[in-house]
A and B are shown apart, each in its own frame.
Chain A
Amino acid sequence: MLEIGTAFSAAFGLIIGLDADLIEIIALSLQVTLTAVLVACLIGFPLGALLAVGRFPMRNALVVLVNALMGLPPVVVGLGVYLMLSRAGPLGVLNLLYTPTAMVIAQTILVTPIIAALTRQVIEDMNIEYDELLRSMGTGRLSQMQTLLWDARYALVTAALAGLGRALAEVGAVMIVGGNINHVTRVMTTAIALETSKGELALALGLGIILMTLSIVLNATLMGFRRTAERMAYA
């Protein structure tokens, strides 16, 4: 009990003292996670809208696949990306293994199905209301998707948040493709795992507290933005 109390005290010391290692790890975590979520949104939003509005062969099978991929095991994604980026792999020539870029790729693969599946649901629900109107106006499928995505933009914040939560908490994939190299690919989750295994509970706890706080602040900010913007836009 005393040890945990000491660890907490040391953790707050690191946070308040703006420990350089801590700041570096946090900055890299945010950089990797936010980049991955941004890329996943750029892929997932149109993909979800296409699945919601499009009428093409194998559409239902694709919907099932995307839904199933929401539960992708991170270590499997990590292994897949590792095999692609390793020297013997098809993309080995790019020398991306054990770099933040590799971690972004792995997280993007993990997060994209979540964002695409949630987007499909949101757009499909909205399209029930919009479909006749947009067709009567002679709107093509692409234009219909654009209209729906724009009008669902505040609801899609929730999809992005779900992706953000997954990416922030993810450890298995980034550990495999990033390697948890100090000052290069060490992020909050991998650092927590490492420091805990070493018995360095203070840094692990400090990172854990910051990770939780970041997650809450990002969620609260985006939800606040969504509610305010939604009220202003369409009451």
Chain B
Amino acid sequence: MLELVKAARPETDPLLTLDHVTLIRGGAAVLDALSLDITAGVITAIMGANGAGKSLAMRVMAGLIAPEAGQVRYAPDMRAPRDVSIVFQRPVLLRRSVRGNLRHALKVYGVPRNQRTRRLAELLELGRLGLIADTPARALSGGEQQRVAMVRALAAKPKLLLLDEPTASLDPQATQAIEQLMRKAADDGATVVIVTHDRGQAKRLAQDIRFMHRGKLVEKAPAKRFFDHPTSAAASAYLSGELFL
């Protein structure tokens, strides 16, 4: 089976820190001096209402967007973007077969040619994609496409796996398959960060919660404490299903 890189540091050290990150869009600060850290070796869920800036924060973490102000700091042994993989809410798959998508990823990630066939077989097995390996990837169901995207992200053996609402439009069965891949990645040592609106999913998976509101971090807590005793008004309202504007 595929082995991911083991995190070689105490679990309390931050793997990634956003330090007073500000992002301006349309004249407004969509990330407003956001300070947030991600603990190595755990699954962290970033939660918050629509427009809180969760997905943008994730893109900043992935190095896809450069902030107007503030710093993004990785742990010293992290090489971004090489050690960071991101999976988007809507999977972006190349116009190739499942096998073609994974082969492309292995090539881009610098896997030597003589190891690609073996690694490809491992990835297909990991995602249970063997039977659809030669199917055009974009012809698959949403759940299958997201599974391909997850497995492709894992092909990089990332130290940090970023997931932007990866199960937002999936049925429970497809969601379960994605969550199993997340757990597998975490068990193998990857630090997983997931943006989700799904409270059940956050309870099932996350050890840490970061709650954002209007571009700021308003609460940071272990998952159990967050769900049992949220301290911010925004998080309390969000969890109780109230409209907090």
Contact = CB atoms under 8 A, between A and B. Distances in A.
A28 to B, nearest CB: 38
A135 B96 contact: no
The 10 closest A-B pairs by CB, nearest first: A235-B139, A234-B95, A133-B92, A234-B136, A151-B95, A138-B81, A235-B136, A234-B138, A136-B86, A137-B108
A139 interface: yes
Nearest to B108: A137
B123 to A, nearest CB: 15
Contacts of B63: 135-136
Contact of A235 (B64, B81, B109, B138): B138
B136 A136 contact: no
A129 B105 CA distance: 17
A232 B92 contact: no
Interface string B81-120: 1101110100010111100000011001100000000000
A2 interface: no
A155 B96 CA distance: 14
A234 to B, nearest CB: 4
A234 B96 contact: yes
A143 B82 CA distance: 15
B82 A147 contact: no
Contacts of B96: 151, 233-234
B161 to A, nearest CB: 11
Interface residues of B, number: 24
Interface residues of A, number: 16
Contacts of A143: 108
Nearest to B92: A133
Contacts of A151: 94-96
Contacts, number: 50
22 contacts: A129-B92, A132-B59, A132-B64, A132-B88, A133-B88, A135-B81, A136-B62, A136-B63, A136-B81, A137-B105, A137-B109, A137-B156, A138-B81, A138-B108, A138-B109, A139-B108, A147-B104, A233-B96, A233-B97, A234-B136, A234-B139, A235-B136
Interface string A216-235: 00000000000000001111
Contacts of A139: 108
B81 A233 contact: no
Interface in A144-160: 147, 151
B137 interface: yes
A218 B241 CA distance: 62
Interface in B27-61: 59
Contacts of A133: 88, 92
A12 B210 CA distance: 80
B154 to A, nearest CB: 12
A130 B138 CA distance: 13
Contacts of B59: 132
A136, A143, A151 pick with most chain B CB within 10 angstroms: A136
Nearest to A140: B108
Contacts of B138: 234-235
Interface in A106-165: 129-130, 132-133, 135-139, 143, 147, 151
Interface string A60-87: 0000000000000000000000000000
A233 B138 CA distance: 9
Nearest to A126: B95
A138 B104 CA distance: 12
B85, B108, B138 pick with most chain A CB within 10 angstroms: B108
A30 B5 CA distance: 57
Contact of A234 (B86, B92, B137): B137
A235 B92 CA distance: 15
Interface in B137-194: 137-139, 156
Given A234-B138, A234-B139, A136 B94 contact: no
A235 B82 CA distance: 31
Nearest to A138: B81
Contacts of B137: 234
Contacts of B136: 232-235
A136 B61 CA distance: 11
A132, A137, A139, A235 pick with most chain B CB within 10 angstroms: A137
Given A136-B84, A234-B95, A234-B139, 15 more contacts: A129-B92, A132-B59, A132-B92, A136-B64, A137-B81, A137-B105, A137-B109, A138-B82, A147-B94, A151-B95, A232-B136, A233-B96, A233-B97, A235-B136, A235-B139
